[in-house]
Structure 1
Amino acid sequence: MQPSAKKTSSRSANAERKNVTGRPAVQGLLARADVRINGDRPWDIQVHYRDLYQRVLAGWSLAFGEAYMEGWWDCAALDECVHRLMAARLHEEVRSWHVAWNVVKAKLMNLQGRSRAHQVGEHHYDRGNDLFEAMLDVHMVYSCGYWRRAETLDEAQTAKLDLICRKIGVEPGDRVLDVGCGWGGFLQFVAEEYGARGVGVTVSEEQARLARARCEGMPVEIRLEDYRDLQGESFDHVVSVGMFEHVGPKNYETFFDVVRRCLKPGGLFLLETIGNESTSVTTDPWIDKYIFPNGTIPSVVQLAEALGERFVIEDWHNFGPDYDRTLMAWYRRFVDRWEALKGRYDERFYRMWTFYLLSCAGSFRARHNQNWQLVLSPGGVGGDYRSVR
């Protein structure tokens, strides 16, 4: 049985009867997204604690997410609720001091510098391999699937891995570098399906441990290493899938310099990253605190400026709507396997992870975020690069 918030019917009734402080303001904002308080539609929010309104007005997105984690409110279709809030662009109006403080920190500090590089690995990816094994596909790909002809998560992620190989032209015997290799799924795929060799780097000890086990006996090397430490090696191709969100704007140029240094003449680099519709140096405060510390989603402008004269953009492919479907598939698998997981994770974690997956699905559904694959070459492909879809 799935855990649920403790309901206090008397408090709910109280909140309905009285003119609770802050409720009119919150209700007015929600109405613009066609979301009602204690309404009867799946995307309406059900409020269990009357103090929710003041809490949200004081802390906005961070308070909204934390209140959900603590059972102060519920929603039968949280993904659709967030989709409506984002589509109404309420996120552009409701800013808290947390956002301002994060901007100040990002401008004054290098939040993704060497000394902090392992924080996201320890906080997020080292939570437990059992969680990700339960939620992800057979290849353990923790990024957007490619659903063009797929019906299942396994099919979508297999199609995405094959799409990457075809875009950069992997051949038998090629040596491929995966920057931010996760649990080794891509390198395992290129070894088994394309006869290539690979090196993967990650800042997560748990990822490295499991990736080595999954790639045992294959021509694949997994390293616990920061990308900035890559020195003195060259590769036929380089890929980085779902890792660039942890690089940070102050390090974009360094990242591309490292990749170019590692790439043989004539080789191709495929970068896959979530994309932001606007330019920012920070991320959502709730996501920063509970899911991906120090993360930043790049914009088109930030990528173009960092690429500069380092790479020619041979192809730019956006399949952002596929991330909505991917996140919903992860959520269903997480819920289906919760009985096996809850011995290690409590109800608060369940609600946190639910809010993470479903709110992100809503954001992609509203097209606030995109998913980009860029094919990049150091000096331009001779002749004509044929885009692969």
Structure 2
Amino acid sequence: MADAASRLRSVAEQVLGVPLPVRLRAWDGSQAGPPDAPTIVVRNRRALRRILFKPGELGVARAWVAGDLDIEGDLYGALAAMSGLIWERGEDDRTVLQALRDPAVRAGVGELLKLAGPPVPPAPPREEVRRRSHLHTRRSDKQAISHHYDVGNDFYEIVLGPSMVYSCAYWEDGGTLEGAQRDKLELVCAKLGLTPGQRLLDVGCGWGSMAIHAAREHGVSVVGVTLSQEQATYARKRVADEGLTDRVEIRVQDYRDVRDGPYDAISSIGMAEHVGAERYLEYAQNLYGLLKPGGRLLNHQIARRPQLDESTYHVDRFIDAYVFPDGELAPIGTTVTQLERAGFEVRDVESIREHYASTLRQWVANLEADWPRAMRLAGPGRARVWRLYMAASALAFERNRIGVNQVLAVRTPESGASGLPLRTRTWN
């Protein structure tokens, strides 16, 4: 098995049909590839078996999560170099079958099988969640939310920093993450036109940051709902520490079960991605019904780019299996259409795509700065999942593969008076 790296590189280039843009270091210590390129470390032959038995993104993800694959050097550089070969290449069973019709590819796979050792598929890492379909029932949604958010509040404190806001910040040059998150919360409050005495529903309230900010800075009464028990416990303590228990209520509750409307305003920040395409109109209708006439909704949501043929769209297998089970992204046009179908008048759409790339890079930096402790708190596999998904997501936002938008919508009364200023983006 001498010089496994050169053999791996040769086979990989044979199968992929293009030069491999990274350096390889194999389990025998051998290396091959440009000396100044990021290095992919293949720690053992089990990594090859994972990829062979599940070609494409999911096999690579399993090897990464299990620690069979690693990256030395520039993480973002390595992911950018490999994205065109994995994440942007497109993968499904038909793609694999078509590739195997090429004799050179078949020969390369045969060589990999020789390198991989015993032809036994390794069990997936325990962090992987298996979903049969995107049902989005109350039970399945609660399980999916628990998988992602009940990782441990101490772990999220490392990643998110003091703000404990798990959504795109709103940056200015030279700003800090905490300041950018504060500015994002204030932007949401301004768009909602919050005034003292109003009632705000915060859907997917997380660790309570939006609810606390709105109550403390704008004098509103807030109900925050989440499906995560760990988030709710943490948020309630923060509310008590701020002396806001008379104005902020945190509930473990599905948004579909909120019955105590009407509210003057609703914020939904980074929650709608969990709703699902089949349930989105229901989501919009529920929020519409909870608002007073003239009430505003601020829907802050990640969006994917539309496909020429939407029937060919595939959910990201790594994200679905390890990060956001049952999460679904929709194009911004689809979101706006569904909100208006529910009765809303959409008044403003603001893209803040670049802001999310900066936010994710800061979260990755936070995680890496306290890596040993993060691994102790969440486990090595889960910590590796978060590092990969956040770094890859930062690149996806930078490359315009995905975006994030704030949509301001109004339950406009029959009189037609929206209550918004004639010149929008003054907000008050």
Q: TM-score, normalised by structure 2?
A: 0.78
Q: Is 50-59 or 217-226 further displaced after alignment?
A: 50-59
**Closer, same or farther in 2 for the Cα pair 1:156/1:18, shift >3 Å?**
closer
User: What is the distance in 2 between the residues matched to 1:99 and 1:214?
Assistant: 50
| Structure 1 counterpart of 2:15, from 25, 40, 47 | 25
Deviations 1:294-314 (CA, angstroms, capped at 9, x unpaired)? 000121242133123421111
* Structure 2 match to 1:67: 63
Q: Which amino acid aligns with 1:259?
A: L
Deviations 1:240-290 (CA, angstroms, capped at 9, x unpaired)? 000011000011011011111111111110000111012567531111111
| Structure 2 counterpart of 1:170, from 187, 194, 212 | 194
Deviations 1:141-189 (CA, angstroms, capped at 9, x unpaired)? 0001111355211011011001111111111122110000001100101
Q: Is 51-60 or 77-86 further displaced after alignment?
A: 51-60
User: What is the distance in 2 between the residues matched to 1:19 and 1:160?
Assistant: 45
C-alpha root-mean-square deviation of aligned residues, in Å?
Answer: 2.9
Name structure 1 gaps, 5 residues minimum. 1-9
Deviation at 1:48, TM superposition (A): 4.2
* Structure 2 match to 1:40: 35
Deviation at 1:36, TM superposition (A): 5.6
1:68-147 correspondence to structure 2 within 5 Å: 68-69=64-65, 70-86=67-83, 88=84, 91-97=87-93, 110-147=134-171
Number of residues paired by the alignment?
Answer: 370
User: What is the distance in 2 between the residues matched to 1:18 and 1:80?
Assistant: 20
- Contact kept, 8 Å, 2:38 with 2:73, in 1: the verdict is yes
- Contact kept, 8 Å, 1:21 with 1:53, in 2: the verdict is no
User: What is the distance in 1 between the residues matched to 2:147 and 2:43?
Assistant: 30
Taking only the aligned residue pairs, the percentage that are identical comes to: 31
User: What is the distance in 2 between the residues matched to 1:78 and 1:199?
Assistant: 40
Name structure 2 gaps, 5 residues minimum. 25-32, 97-129
- Contact kept, 8 Å, 1:163 with 1:388, in 2: the verdict is no
* Structure 1 match to 2:297: 269
* Structure 1 match to 2:401: 368
Alignment partner of 1:204 is 2:237: no
User: What is the distance in 1 between the residues matched to 2:283 and 2:395?
Assistant: 30
User: What is the distance in 2 between the residues matched to 1:388 and 1:369?
Assistant: 27
* Structure 2 match to 1:161: 185
Deviation at 1:110, TM superposition (A): 4.6
- Contact kept, 8 Å, 1:80 with 1:362, in 2: the verdict is no
Deviations 1:13-61 (CA, angstroms, capped at 9, x unpaired)? 3221577544422362x65xx5565433454534445675675464211
- Contact kept, 8 Å, 1:45 with 1:74, in 2: the verdict is yes
User: What is the distance in 2 between the residues matched to 1:50 and 1:15?
Assistant: 11
Relative contact order (alpha carbons < 8 A, sep ≥ 6): 1 or 2 greater?
A: 1
Deviation at 1:123, TM superposition (A): 0.6
**Closer, same or farther in 2 for the Cα pair 1:354/1:166, shift >3 Å?**
same
User: What is the distance in 1 between the residues matched to 2:270 and 2:77?
Assistant: 24
User: What is the distance in 2 between the residues matched to 1:180 and 1:359?
Assistant: 24
| Structure 1 counterpart of 2:331, from 270, 294, 299 | 299
- Contact kept, 8 Å, 1:39 with 1:45, in 2: the verdict is no
Deviation at 1:388, TM superposition (A): 5.0
Q: TM-score, normalised by structure 1?
A: 0.86
Alignment partner of 1:286 is 2:318: yes
* Structure 2 match to 1:247: 275
